[in-house]
């Protein structure tokens, strides 16, 4: 790796470690100083390494610079030092000077604590994801802006407000207590899953970026699994779910990035290694008493990853959707449940149930009805697809529906012949 490849790589792996350790040391009030020092460290690396070549141990080099930059900062900013040094020394009374502890243990602890600090319900979900991408995943502002289909200025403002909120609330960077861990983990997992979905369903055209977002979500989740305090069944359930979804990444879009429906996917493109990982984490997730929505979603995804159609497959899927609706209603789950019902009890039964759903503003609702009416009453199928087309917002959705309409018309022609 030359320095042009190495620095972005180290930025992804080391940025979060250095910034977490510094944030932990200074406290959330001074998060921007931690950011400045970390950014400075990487800036110096790109300048120096470009001129003098890559040092023997680049990571150690970064850590030494980060330590020295911190010391310099304290020397240069007397007032800051006087205020904060007192606070820091309370925490580490044995040392005279400010010591930045970049030992593996402190790095791990600090990162884990930062995850809980950032995934805090006092800041909006979107800002949590942005901040997580910036601080925990080492994403650039421009990458975050692209992921959210917005501009750098908006993201900068959003991150600024989020940090301001954390500062005002003076959030302590620490692990929640044993009794609070489960409740707080739920917020963390929500953010991780939103991050994953941002990548999985994002309308950004960059397939590379979308995959990166998914991988980062999985990496954060894996970090929680590696740590004993947070290695709970629910965390494994989410990991299984993401592995199963990610296994179909290559199969679910064509070369120009348009979605390919599940039933039309080339199953040979499914990633078996990820499916096996998913199976492993699903088993791990079963080691507790609780069944969370992630358990149910992971089990549904498990069945979707089975390549052969067994007699009971859709029956199991339907039951899982029934249970999921009881704990976490969403229009998407209601539609998927009705689709599963059509596989178990037939289209006629599913149509009756579908007509009861109060989702008359949802293009997916009409697409579902279109599918259910296909071969039962093709005129009605056509009607429903037409409404779906009017309601659809994205080009990808529109092209899928147009294809459905096209297929239906082709059927009609064949029938007339």
Distance between CA atoms of residues 347 and 378, nearest Å: 13
Indicate which single residue of 175, 357, 396, 405 sits in contact with another protein (rule: CB under 8 A): 357
For residue 147, CA distances in Å to 119, 131, 143, 224 come to 19, 13, 6, 24
Q: Does 341 bind another protein (CB under 8 A)?
A: yes
Distance between CA atoms of residues 406 and 220, nearest Å: 43
Least distance CB 371 / another protein (angstroms)? 16
Indicate which single residue of 318, 372, 388, 392 sits in contact with another protein (rule: CB under 8 A): 318
Q: Does 338 bind another protein (CB under 8 A)?
A: yes
Distance between CA atoms of residues 197 and 193, nearest Å: 6
- For residue 320, which of 308, 307, 303, 345 has the smallest C-alpha distance? 303
Count of residues binding another protein (CB under 8 A)? Answer: 18
Q: Does 362 bind another protein (CB under 8 A)?
A: no
Stretch that binds another protein, among 59-67, 165-173, 328-336, 363-371 (CB under 8 A): 328-336
What residues contact 85, with CB distance under 8 A and at least 6 apart?
74, 98
Indicate which single residue of 51, 268, 358, 393 sits in contact with another protein (rule: CB under 8 A): 358
Q: Does 364 bind another protein (CB under 8 A)?
A: no
Q: Does 356 bind another protein (CB under 8 A)?
A: yes
Q: Does 321 bind another protein (CB under 8 A)?
A: yes
* Residues 130-149, interacting with another protein (CB under 8 A): none
Query: ∠ CA 189-215-190 to the nearest 5 degrees?
Result: 15
Paired with 253 in beta bridges are 259
Q: Does 190 bind another protein (CB under 8 A)?
A: no
Q: Does 322 bind another protein (CB under 8 A)?
A: yes
Least distance CB 82 / another protein (angstroms)? 55
Least distance CB 369 / another protein (angstroms)? 14
Nearer to another protein by Cβ, of 260 and 315: the residue is: 315
Query: Which DSSP letter does residue 134 get?
Result: I
Distance between CA atoms of residues 224 and 179, nearest Å: 17
Least distance CB 356 / another protein (angstroms)? 5
Indicate which single residue of 251, 325, 387, 396 sits in contact with another protein (rule: CB under 8 A): 325
User: Residue length, the chain?
Assistant: 417
Q: Does 353 bind another protein (CB under 8 A)?
A: yes
Query: Which DSSP letter does residue 177 get?
Result: P
- For residue 198, which of 255, 139, 265 has the smallest C-alpha distance? 139
Nearer to another protein by Cβ, of 185 and 324: the residue is: 324
CA 305 to chain centre: 20
Binding stretches for another protein (CB under 8 A) = 315, 318-319, 321-323, 325-326, 329, 333-334, 337-338, 341, 353, 356-358
């Amino acid at each position: 790796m030359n320095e042009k490849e190495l620095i972005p790589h180290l930025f992804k792996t080391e940025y979060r470690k250095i910034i977490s350790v510094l944030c932990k040391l200074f406290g959330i009030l001074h998060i921007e100083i931690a950011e400045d020092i970390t950014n400075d460290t990487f800036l110096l690396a790109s300048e120096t390494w470009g001129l003098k070549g890559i040092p023997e141990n680049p990571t150690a080099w970064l850590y030494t610079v980060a330590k020295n930059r911190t010391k310099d900062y304290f020397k240069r900013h007397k007032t800051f030092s006087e205020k904060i040094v007192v606070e820091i020394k309370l925490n580490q009374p044995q040392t005279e000077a400010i010591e930045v502890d970049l030992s593996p243990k402190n790095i791990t602890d600090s990162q884990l604590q930062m995850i809980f600090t950032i995934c805090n319900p006092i800041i909006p979900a979107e800002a949590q994801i942005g901040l997580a991408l910036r601080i925990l995943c080492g994403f650039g502002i421009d990458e975050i802006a692209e992921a959210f289909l917005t501009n750098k200025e908006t993201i900068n403002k959003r991150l600024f407000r989020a940090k301001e909120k954390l500062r005002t609330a003076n959030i302590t960077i620490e692990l929640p207590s044993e009794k609070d861990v489960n409740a707080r983990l739920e917020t963390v997992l929500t953010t991780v899953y939103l991050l994953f979905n941002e990548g999985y369903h994002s309308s950004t055209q960059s397939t590379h970026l979308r995959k990166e977002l998914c991988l980062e979500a999985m990496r954060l989740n894996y970090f929680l699994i590696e740590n004993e305090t947070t290695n709970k069944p629910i965390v494994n359930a989410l990991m299984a779910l993401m592995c199963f979804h990610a296994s179909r990444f290559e199969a679910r879009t064509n070369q120009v990035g348009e979605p390919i429906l599940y039933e039309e996917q080339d199953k040979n493109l499914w990633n078996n290694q990820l499916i096996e990982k998913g199976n492993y984490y699903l088993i791990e997730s079963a080691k507790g008493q609780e069944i969370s929505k992630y358990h149910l979603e992971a089990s549904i995804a498990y069945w979707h990853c089975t390549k052969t159609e067994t007699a009971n497959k859709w029956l199991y899927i339907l039951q899982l959707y029934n249970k999921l609706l009881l704990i976490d209603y969403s229009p998407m789950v209601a539609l998927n449940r009705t689709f599963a019902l059509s596989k178990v009890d037939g289209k006629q039964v599913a149509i009756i149930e579908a007509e009861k759903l109060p989702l008359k503003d949802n293009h997916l609702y009409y697409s579902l009805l279109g599918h259910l009416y296909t071969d039962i009453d093709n005129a009605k199928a056509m009607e429903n697809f037409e409404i779906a087309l009017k309601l659809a917002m994205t080009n990808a959705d529109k092209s899928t529906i147009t294809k459905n309409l096209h297929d239906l018309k082709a059927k009609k022609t064949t029938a007339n012949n």
